[in-house]
Amino acid sequence: MEPASKTLQYWRLYLLSLVLGIGGSFQYGIQVSVVASPAEHVQSFVNYTWMLRYGTPVEEYANQLIWSFIVAVLSLGAWAGAIHSGSLPVTYGRKKALLINDIVAMIAALLMLFSRMAKSFEMILLGRFLYGYNVGLGLSVHLMYIGESSPKKLRGFMTLSCSIFVGFGKVVGQIIGIKEIMGTEEMWPYLLAVSGLPALLQFVMLLFFPESPRYLYIDKGDTEGSRKALQWLWQEDDLKQEMDDMQKEREGAQGEKAKTVKDVLTSRCVRWQLLTLAIPCAGVQFCGINALYFYAFDIFRESGIPEGQMHYLAIGIGATELITVTLCSFLIDRAGRKKLMGYGYLLMGFTMVVLTVTLSVKEMSPMIPYVNIGLIFCVICIYGLGPSGVSMALPADLFLQAWRPSAYVISGTINWVGMFLVGMLFGYIVEGLGQFCFLIFVVYSIFSAFFLLYFVPETKGKTMVEIMKDFNKLNYKDRGDDAENTSVATKF
């Protein structure tokens, strides 16, 4: 069979990736981007409902506090969803967990839609929390489901589809949020509720797809069901190699139950996997990309760009990230995770050093603000080509079946708590340090780069068992290379 036709035979797997991306990642991208557009309308609505209840306008600081919490509560809900991503997919399976999750998103959409009619801004708060729960659970289970359903040669490409849909959702959210479409006084409840449509679409389409083959085989012991799921998704009759790989993993687990978060945090046999997961996952929030988005608008203003055009530039930034993440999906299984993340963080760090210098001397020449714009787009391109997408694929690559759900809980917790902390503290950091705030992120980016390049083995094109053997050399290096074998990785 020719390589092109061999790739096309996985069209059902690609369709599964599309369905998974629509329900979780795409929704997250929309929720991140649409909330900024109706800010003034929601704050006006808060003041209106306050007047109806108490007969006096809400204090400005209280209104701002309520709005800040509406924005930040998404990350708290996502944390709750990430915590449940370790239990719901194990108890009910990956597919049923996503179906339950879609119902949560549809309830959130209804709360948003009827909040103005009910004259309740609390419904917006609850809806944002439920949306957060939806994306926190949905992103983890999306990655778990597609990673367990993909052949090793496509695992990186398929798991990176999550980042592509996040980027796509950001762009769509920015577009529909402009005043010419849904960013108006009349339309803001519909704008906030729009994420319910992808959830409904995923709920209907997911009914026609099988459960994760690895979940069926390793967790449930359903060999025939797993084989049928693989045949349906891959359209292959010769599945011996994949079935043998799952059999080895299952035998290594020796019937053990799924590991807890405490097991992952305390077990020596996954120590280096945990470090390899934690540092890049934290890096997504602490690599400076949020600082960059914050400063972008100031730099655009200094370049003389009209205020009314800022939203269109934001769309350009989102589109740049989407294009580079998409390009990364074609590179990840060729270049490997290690190089894309390691060199990505390194280049981001050096570029932000240059940006800090040019921001400090911006008055010296009228051309420097345009140089700064170019540097912003350079950092976004580097971020999209490496750290943004590859970090999401890590739990599927680094952990065996028994450990994977708890690994997603840890990665989700790091991501969402980091997002909440950056959102709450970043304003104070910028106020105190100005453009020198980038230097904090430079240190973390360069540290992450050296850790990944010098200490972490590559996972490209390897089975789960082969990856565990590489990490066991680090986990048990003081006992000798032959002191522990792969089965150790599944024992507490």
Average pLDDT, the chain: 83
Q: Are residue 205 and residue 272 in the same domain, yes or no?
A: no
Q: Does residue 283 lie in a domain region?
A: yes
Does residue 217 sit within a domain? no
CA gap 303, 315 in Å, rounded: 18
Mean pLDDT of 311-328: 85
Confidence check: pLDDT of 415 > 70: yes
53 plus 158 within the same structural domain: yes
Q: What pLDDT does 199 receive?
A: 93
pTM of the model: 0.83
Q: Which of 188, 209, 230 is the last residue of a domain?
A: 209
| Residue 247 located in a structural domain | no
CA–CA dist 47, 51 (Å, integer):
6
Question: DSSP character for 25?
Answer: I
pLDDT by residue (tens digit) across 252-271? 666 566 788 888 888 888 88
Q: What confidence score (pLDDT) does residue 156 get?
A: 75
> What is the predicted pLDDT for the residue at 490?
41
Residues 202 and 271 in one domain: no
- Residue 204 to residue 190: CA distance in whole angstroms: 21
Same domain, 99 and 31: yes
Q: Are 209 and 22 in contact (CB under 8 A)?
A: no
pLDDT above 60 (res 6): no
DSSP string, 210-255: PPPHHIIIIIT--HHHHHHHHHHHH--S--HHHHHHHHHHHHHHTT
Q: Do 302 and 190 share a structural domain?
A: no
For residue 70, tell me if it sits in a domain: yes
Q: Domain of residue 15: give its range.
A: 9-209
Q: How far apart are CA 274 and CA 261, in angstroms?
A: 11
The pLDDT value given to residue 326: 87
Rounded to an integer, what distance in angstroms lies between the CA atom of residue 64 and that of residue 12? 47
**Residues 275, 183 within the same domain:** no
Query: How many DSSP H helices and E strands does the chain contain?
Result: 25, 0
What is the average per-residue pLDDT within 430-457? 84
Q: How far apart are CA 310 and CA 102, in angstroms?
A: 33
Average the pLDDT over 421-447 and give the result. 79
Among residues 213, 230, 191, the alpha carbon closest in space to that of 113 is found at 191
Residue that the structure tokens 């994306």 belong to:
135
Name the domain boundary from 209, 242, 277.
209
Distances in whole angstroms, Cα of residue 302 to Cα of each of 152, 289, 461:
48, 20, 47
Q: Which of 84-88, 139-143, 304-308 has the lowest mean pLDDT?
A: 304-308
The model's confidence at residue 407, banded by pLDDT at 50, 70 and 90, is confident
Measuring CA to CA, which residue among 332, 335, 338 is closest to residue 276? 338
Those residues with Cβ within 8 angstroms of residue 421's Cβ, 6 or more apart along the chain or in another chain: 285
Q: Does 59 share its domain with 142?
A: yes
- Separation of alpha carbons 273 and 395, rounded Å: 9
Looking up residue 31, the CATH number of its domain turns out to be 1.20.1250.20
Q: What is the pLDDT of residue 489?
A: 41
Nearest residue to 376 via CA among 408, 348, 342, 345: 348
Same structural domain, 280 and 425 = yes
| Other Cβ atoms within 10 Å of 99 Cβ, number | 15
Max mean pLDDT among 24-28, 227-231, 400-404 falls in 227-231
Residue 345 lies in a domain: yes
Contact call for residues 111 and 130 (beta carbons, < 8 A) = yes
Domain boundary among 177, 194, 209: 209
Please enumerate in sequence order all residues whose Cβ is within 8 A of that of 63, keeping only pairs 6 or more positions apart, or say none: 43, 46, 47, 50
**Beta-strand (E) ranges in 70-145?**
none
Residue 275 and residue 418 share a domain: yes
Residue 87 lies in a domain: yes
Residue 208: CB atoms within 10 A of its CB come to 9
Evaluate whether residue 2 is within a structural domain: no
Distances, alpha carbon 58 to alpha carbons 42, 103, 233, 346, 367, in Å: 13, 34, 56, 47, 44
For 387-400, give one letter per residue: b (16+ CB within 10 A) or e. Answer: bbbbbbbbbbbbbb
Average pLDDT over residues 439-443: 87
Question: What average pLDDT score do residues 2-24 get?
Answer: 77
pLDDT value at 213 more than 90: yes
Same domain as 185, residue 308 = no
Q: How many domains does the chain have?
A: 2
Instruction: Based on the fold, state whether residues 202 and 281 are members of the same structural domain.
Output: no
Backbone angles phi, psi at 93, to 5 degrees: 95, 160
The yes-or-no verdict on residue 280 having pLDDT over 60 is yes
Dihedrals phi, psi of 183, to nearest 5 degrees: -85, 50
With respect to residue 234, please indicate whether it lies within any of the assigned structural domains.
no
Residue 29, pLDDT above cutoff 70? yes
Q: Is 49 in the same domain as 158?
A: yes
